[in-house]
Chains A and B, each alone.
Chain A
Amino acid sequence: MTDSAPMLDHGQFSKLFPFHFIVDADMRVIDTGSVLARVCPKIVPGALINDHFLLFRLASEPIKAFNRDFIARQENTLFVFKSTSTDLMLRCQVLILRDPERYLFLGSPWVRNPTELKALHLVLQDFALHDSTVDLLQLVQATSTSLHDAKQLSEKLEQRVADRTAELSMANAELSRVMRSKDDFLSAMSHELRTPLNAILGLSESLAEGVYGDMNTKQVKSINTIAESGHHLLALINDLLDIAKIGAGKMELELTKANVEDLCQASLRFVMEQAQKQKINLKLVMDNQSVMLTADERRLKQILVNLLSNAVKFTPNGGSVTLETKCDLESESLMFSVRDTGIGIATEDLKRLFSPFTQLDSKLSRQYAGTGLGLTLVMKLVELHGGSVAVESEIGKGSCFTVRIPCKGLDTLNQHNPSGTISLTEITPAETLPSNTPLILVADDNEINLMTVTDYLRANKLRVIQARDGLEAVKMVREHIPSLVLMDIQMPLMDGLDAIAHLRADDKHTDMPIIALTSRAMVGDRERCIAVGANDYLSKPVNMKQLVKTIRAHLPNDETL
């Protein structure tokens, strides 16, 4: 054994263990490694090692007075020394040598990163090559650099996500701003377009009814033309607004259970007058008379009226237009077909049929007035209901438009009901109105509207007082205590909504009927009017008869009788 162990001279030993030291039984230094001697120059032969090193024990106080017995007991543990003069910590293994008794400590500095190395004034060359301390330092360094990079990467990614999110929410905000301004524009346009129309329709109605005195036949004819054109324009504006509303996703269906026969009858009534003029035979054929359908009644009527008036429009005198309903149990849907004996549509034109502003023949468009929006609107309204539209047509023979509306639970409703052709009920004649003299306050900033409404109401034997803004309206109410207030919404100084709120805040006026009059046809306006306290709501241009009817409906009984 001894023979095979290499004999090293002091220089060789020091090269392998540059941080070693040897002490005698009294703990006095016999020898130190070259680097230790440089780093701790006071540890020279003869010095007491306890003066220079504390024996470090984890989780307990450092041991100052270690001696040979202590060391002998701990021969198989790791010795960690801490220098009393520098930050140097040595991790060592002890070897007890005999004859003479000596203690050999072999080890190297305990460093956890290159910065500690620098603080100790050590260089990499101070470590023996077999000592893996430096390898570990390089590993630690590589790992921490990597960690640092990864942190940077995640910060960059986080920043990117934050940037994108900000961009997106900005785009969203911009989008909803644009949408809102589009809605505002639509709303404002509807006001702008309908206000003058209100005057045109209202005044021509008043004129035709002789409110301003008798007119000769020529004048009556002209006035009727004005009224017709006005109504046509109104229909066009309404279609445009509806299409825009659907486009903006603002069209919400008000689904209710509707009686299909009532719906069909009501729709046919719309075109009855025109059909009679053209001597067109109108028919309603139902395979089940008591069927109910969940749909937006107003919109469904809009669909049917659109198809029916198209059919009447394009059917020559003496022809026929049939509205037919069929329950399709298999697809759980209701089919509405509008069949005419009109001019028909060529196959190649069918495709273009549902795009806006398409009228198949410009000559026809002159002959048969139409907005070119009707079918687009029909299509969109049907889609909103989850249904579909189909068309069959033959030139010269006629067309058939079929609307399919889904209808859940159709079979349970399908009781034994006779099917067949139903005679159309007569349009209810307008009721004769009682003449009393309640006081009506009309608040409107538009002179023409004010005049039109006032004239019409007075012609209907109602007393009228006027206000031209919300403030004046509130003042007038306090002074005159009218029976009912007709309140325009868009007014200067104080708008109608505020004026209504003001009035309702006063105990004296909580029961006074208020009817809001507005050109705004946007969703939510009705709710806002009602929310501030209006009893009812009418969209301009108001049909004068409708207006009077509404007023009568809200007047206390004793005044109407």
Chain B
Amino acid sequence: MHGMINKSIEDLVTIQFGADKWEAVKKKAGVTETAFVSNQSYPDAMTYGLVGAATEVLGLTADQVLYAFGEFWVTHTAFKGYGDMLMSAGRTIGEFLDYLPLFHTRVALIFPNLKPPRFECSDRHENGITLHYFSDRPGLSMVVVGMLNGISKLYKTPAVVTHTKFKDKGADHDEFLVNWGAADQK
């Protein structure tokens, strides 16, 4: 996995729980890297190992860690590195989500050795969109939910994310319904 992902887990644990907790997570996961570098590819097992260790050290469930990581990635990590890019992807949350599939298309162009996920959009209407998430990696759908919530915060547009199809329950990909109209009316 791209170094940015591991780095983001590092920042999340360090900022929200403290540097000593991060050292504990690293130790538990058997990771000896001093720091991660984006654009560098690390084994997926390392990322899964870090998430697993984080659940133990922080006393959270895997879903909680993945969700927190997803949201943190958008609001902190990506925002630091790709903030202008993220905010340039659309003037509204709708425009952003329309554009989302392109990000990973470009990731695949820029880093041909990576296996970024693929997103597709459908059923776009004024207050919502259906997002299709395709990935070879198992168990990361909670990251998407966290990320979508982060995006909603970034665009200051409350949104409801509903996970409607589950790959781990037999569907051929995950599907999310993102609805910001309902929240807008509150």
Contact = CB atoms under 8 A, between A and B. Distances in A.
Interface stretch (B34-42, B59-67, B135-143, B171-179): B34-42
B37 A146 contact: yes
Nearest to A160: B34
Contacts, number: 81
> Which of A143, A145, A156 is packed against the most chain B CB atoms within 10 Å?
A145
B88 A149 contact: no
A326 B123 CA distance: 105
A156 B36 contact: no
Contacts of B99: 124-125
Instruction: Place the interface of chain B in its size category.
Output: 20 to 34
B30 interface: no
B167 to A, nearest CB: 27
Given A141-B81, A141-B82, A149-B3, A122 B38 contact: no
A237 to B, nearest CB: 52
Interface in B79-130: 81-85, 87-91, 95, 98-99, 102-103, 106-107, 109-111
Contacts of B4: 145, 149
Contacts of B39: 142-143, 145-146, 149
Contact of B85 (A141, A143, A152, A157): A141
A135 B35 contact: no
B36 to A, nearest CB: 7
Contacts of A137: 85
Interface of A (DSSP majority class): helix
B3 A123 contact: no
Central interface residue in B4, B90, B98, B110, by most chain A CB within 10 Å: B110
A493 B151 CA distance: 80
Interface stretch (A48-56, A112-120, A346-354, A536-544): A112-120
Contacts of A139: 106, 110
A138 interface: yes
B37 A153 contact: yes
Given A142-B110, A143-B39, A145-B4, A156 B88 contact: no
Interface string A120-140: 001111000000001101110
Nearest to A152: B35
A148 interface: yes
B85 A123 contact: no
Binding site of B, secondary structure by majority: helix, strand, loop or mixed? helix
Nearest to B40: A146
A433 interface: no
B56 to A, nearest CB: 25
Contact of A153 (B34, B85, B98, B111): B34
Given A125-B99, A135-B110, A148 B81 contact: yes
A429 to B, nearest CB: 77
Contacts of B163: none
A125 B90 contact: yes
Contacts of B7: 149
A248 interface: no
A156 B103 contact: no
A146 to B, nearest CB: 4
A150 interface: yes
Contact of A124 (B36, B88, B110, B111): B88
A134 B89 CA distance: 10
Interface in B1-17: 3-4, 7
A134 B84 CA distance: 12
Interface string B162-186: 0000000000000000000000000
B82 A145 contact: yes
A124 B37 contact: no
Given A115-B84, A135-B109, A123 B37 contact: no
B35 A124 contact: no
A124 B102 contact: yes
A113 B88 CA distance: 11
- A118, A124, A134, A152: most-surrounded residue (chain B CB, <10 A): A124
B35 A117 contact: no
Given A137-B85, A139-B110, A149 B36 contact: yes
Contact of A156 (B34, B85, B110): B34
Interface in B21-55: 34-40
Nearest to B87: A118
A138 B81 contact: no
Interface string B69-83: 000000000000111
Nearest to B34: A156
Nearest to B83: A114
Most chain B C-beta atoms within 10 Å of own C-beta, residue among A114, A142, A156 = A142
Contacts of A138: 85, 103, 106-107, 110
Contacts of B83: 114
Contacts of A117: 84, 88
B39 to A, nearest CB: 4
Residue among B34, B37, B90 with max Cβ neighbours from chain A (10 Å): B37
Contacts of B102: 124, 134
B23 to A, nearest CB: 13
Interface of B: 3-4, 7, 34-40, 81-85, 87-91, 95, 98-99, 102-103, 106-107, 109-111
13 contacts: A114-B83, A115-B84, A118-B88, A123-B91, A124-B90, A142-B39, A144-B81, A145-B81, A146-B37, A146-B38, A149-B39, A150-B37, A153-B36
Q: Which 7 A-B pairs have the closest CB atoms?
A: A114-B84, A146-B39, A145-B81, A153-B35, A149-B37, A146-B38, A114-B85
Given A138-B110, A142-B111, A146-B38, 6 more contacts: A124-B89, A124-B99, A124-B102, A134-B102, A145-B81, A149-B3
